[in-house]
Amino acid sequence: MGYSVVKRSIIKGRRDKIWNWRCRWSIVTIAAIALIFYNAVANIWLLHPTACPVISTASPSDPPSCEPCIDTVPNSAIDDDPIAKLDLRLGRWDGSRSYRLFDYAAVGELYSEVSSNSKVCLATQSSIERLHELLRIAAHWTGPISVAVFVAGDELRLLRAFTTWLFRCQPEIYSRVALHIATPAERPGVHGVVPSWARDCRSKPLPPGERRADTVAWRARHPYPQNHMRNQARKNCHTSYVFLVDVDIVPSKGMAASLDKFLTTAPKCSLCAYVVPTYELDKRVATFPSSKSELLRLSRNKLAIPFHRKVFIYNQYASNFSRWEASGGNETSETHISHNVTNFELLYEPFYVAPDTVPAHDERFLGYGFTRNTQVYEMFLIGYQFRVLSPIFTIHWGLQARRNRPLWREKQNEKNRKHFETFKRELFARYRRDPLHLLKRPQQKKT
Ligand SMILES: *[C@@H]1O[C@H](CO)[C@@H](O)[C@H](O)[C@H]1NC(C)=O
Ligand SMILES: *[C@@H]1O[C@H](CO)[C@@H](O)[C@H](O)[C@H]1NC(C)=O
Ligand SMILES: *[C@@H]1O[C@H](CO)[C@@H](O)[C@H](O)[C@H]1NC(C)=O
């Protein structure tokens, strides 16, 4: 669906809604005014058949058409703060009864339509302080987007503000987004007052420093339930395929349309996962690489490197970037399979496109460490093949260095590492396979 077509149909949809609402009331009001006026005129006419100094501000001659009402409709008639109506006592509980989950807290008017016309839905999750990064994804991804947002305490009012801002200022994006919420039982979201930037399209949404200090402190002491959020975002996608990414991973331009085309013609493969390579880009690079050739040029100049190569090399190593780069970018612009992953290894965690029948993300892993690679490993045990796509790619803005990792993150990682021992025993029992000999292997120390 073209951008302008989408925009036009949103505007039309909203106009129809407002029109219906206004129209109903206008007709009633006009009829009432007309009746009163008629009565008054009739009385005066009957009592004083000569002079007729009627002073009336109401105009009985208003045409019964409702078209002109649109420009004068008060803002409150448009529902630009859908989350305000959320009953915070009604979310469904997660397995540990620690979080309440609200699906479709806000949903764009074209989300279901765009979903039925697309092959791939982009699923992502975010905390409130990184949610602005969604705009970078949405600027490139033209298909449906399912996003789960974590809010604690007064962060909810900021999410409401962001939703209102998106509705008013980026209607094309809002129209194809479904937004879900997860909130902790221990510190549930509270409605509060929506800041004024919500209705000001000249402001940037979600300026830092708006959260209460006690909320910030609470958040710092508690892990972010990323796998809950991933599952919530995934399970609310309605396309045949899901592309799950972290909110700071930006797809290359035109990816949604290109994937649609590829998946329409790709041979059926129920156990295939299509890997989209991810690069880290130096922040000094001003513009998003417009093509694979440009990305490879940046890579040759060390301004782009495979994601996590420095921080955690296993993350993408099995994708085999040297094979991906071998073409030098001299290849078709249509999405195609570059090569298969042949050396799967533990802790591999690519971003991939697959039907959402892949295993869920284990929600016992909280915070950082082992959250995605355990899910990918389970896919490998089931027998999924990973096929690397080209020339599409994704970008993480900013090169990562190990020293940037805070201590709390290492602590969460340690906790999850212990849980990983349980997890791999469970997998072995379930699938009766241990192709990487994990049960005999000493713990992987480096993450
Ligand atoms: C990458 O591909 C090359 C062949 O093109 C192969 O020699 C190498 O082993 C592969 N590496 C990985 C990690 O798969
Ligand atoms: C690109 O590939 C085509 C076909 O494989 C080849 O004919 C052409 O010379 C290549 N161009 C460059 C710049 O390598
Ligand atoms: C990937 O593997 C499949 C099945 O094992 C094979 O049919 C296909 O040709 C391979 N693709 C590439 C690009 O090597």
CA atoms of 256 and 201, how far apart (whole Å): 27
**Does residue 338's CB lie within 6 angstroms of at least one atom of ligand 1?**
no
User: Among the atoms of ligand 3, which is closest to the Cα of residue 387?
Assistant: 1
Say yes or no to pLDDT of 256 above 80. yes
Residue nearest to atom 10 of ligand 3 (CA): 340
The preferred substitution site among 342, 385, 388 for testing ligand 1, maximizing ligand atoms within 8 Å of CB, is 342
Say yes or no to pLDDT of 314 above 90. no
Q: Does 151 or 40 have the greater pLDDT score?
A: 151
What pLDDT does residue 76 have?
A: 53
What pLDDT does residue 240 have?
A: 97
Specify the DSSP class assigned to residue 272: E
**Does residue 337's CB lie within 6 angstroms of at least one atom of ligand 3?**
yes
**Does residue 339's CB lie within 6 angstroms of at least one atom of ligand 3?**
yes
User: Among the atoms of ligand 1, which is closest to the Cα of residue 343?
Assistant: 14
Q: Does 240 or 30 have the greater pLDDT score?
A: 240
**Does residue 140's CB lie within 6 angstroms of at least one atom of ligand 3?**
no
Say yes or no to pLDDT of 57 above 50. no
Residue nearest to atom 2 of ligand 1 (CA): 323
CA atoms of 391 and 260, how far apart (whole Å): 14
Residue nearest to atom 8 of ligand 1 (CA): 320
**Does residue 317's CB lie within 6 angstroms of at least one atom of ligand 1?**
yes
Residue nearest to atom 13 of ligand 3 (CA): 339
User: Among the atoms of ligand 3, which is closest to the Cα of residue 340?
Assistant: 1
Say yes or no to pLDDT of 287 above 90. yes
Band the pLDDT of 130: cuts 50, 70, 90. Answer: very high
What is the edge-to-edge ordering of all strands in the sheet holding 394-397? 249-251, 394-397, 278-281, 304-306
Tokens of 355: 């039907």
Measured from the alpha carbon of residue 319, the closest ligand is: 1
pLDDT digits (tens, 9 = 90+) for 109-119: 999 999 999 99
Residues of the chain with pLDDT > 90, as a percent, come to 69
Q: What is the DSSP string of 76-108?
A: GGS---GGGG--TT-PEE-TTS-EEEEEEEEE-
Band the pLDDT of 309: cuts 50, 70, 90. Answer: confident
**Does residue 323's CB lie within 6 angstroms of at least one atom of ligand 1?**
yes
pLDDT digits (tens, 9 = 90+) for 361-417: 999 999 988 999 999 999 999 999 999 999 999 999 888 776 667 788 888 888 898
Band the pLDDT of 447: cuts 50, 70, 90. Answer: very low
Least confident of 237-241, 252-256, 357-361, 398-402: 398-402
Phi first, then psi, for residue 306 (nearest 5°) are: -55, 140
Band the pLDDT of 40: cuts 50, 70, 90. Answer: low
CA atoms of 443 and 23, how far apart (whole Å): 68
CA atoms of 75 and 86, how far apart (whole Å): 20
Say yes or no to pLDDT of 353 above 90. yes
Tokens of 55: 């002073």
**Does residue 76's CB lie within 6 angstroms of at least one atom of ligand 1?**
no
Say yes or no to pLDDT of 139 above 90. yes
Measured from the alpha carbon of residue 389, the closest ligand is: 3
Band the pLDDT of 439: cuts 50, 70, 90. Answer: confident
**Does residue 340's CB lie within 6 angstroms of at least one atom of ligand 3?**
yes
pTM here is: 0.83
Least confident of 101-105, 348-352, 413-417: 413-417
Band the pLDDT of 172: cuts 50, 70, 90. Answer: very high
**Does residue 61's CB lie within 6 angstroms of at least one atom of ligand 1?**
no
Phi first, then psi, for residue 122 (nearest 5°) are: -90, 120
* Cα-to-centroid distance, 330 and ligand 2 (Å): 6
What pLDDT does residue 30 have?
A: 64
Q: Does 369 or 43 have the greater pLDDT score?
A: 369
What pLDDT does residue 141 have?
A: 98
User: Among the atoms of ligand 3, which is closest to the Cα of residue 338?
Assistant: 13
The position carrying tokens 């790709």 is 266
The preferred substitution site among 340, 384, 390 for testing ligand 3, maximizing ligand atoms within 8 Å of CB, is 340
Measured from the alpha carbon of residue 321, the closest ligand is: 1
Band the pLDDT of 29: cuts 50, 70, 90. Answer: low
* Cα-to-centroid distance, 275 and ligand 2 (Å): 25
Measured from the alpha carbon of residue 274, the closest ligand is: 3
Tokens of 108: 């764009």
What pLDDT does residue 312 have?
A: 73
Domain boundaries, the chain: 12-77, 81-247, 252-447
Share in percent of the chain as helix, strand, coil (round to 5): 40, 15, 45
Say yes or no to pLDDT of 32 above 50. yes
Band the pLDDT of 53: cuts 50, 70, 90. Answer: very low
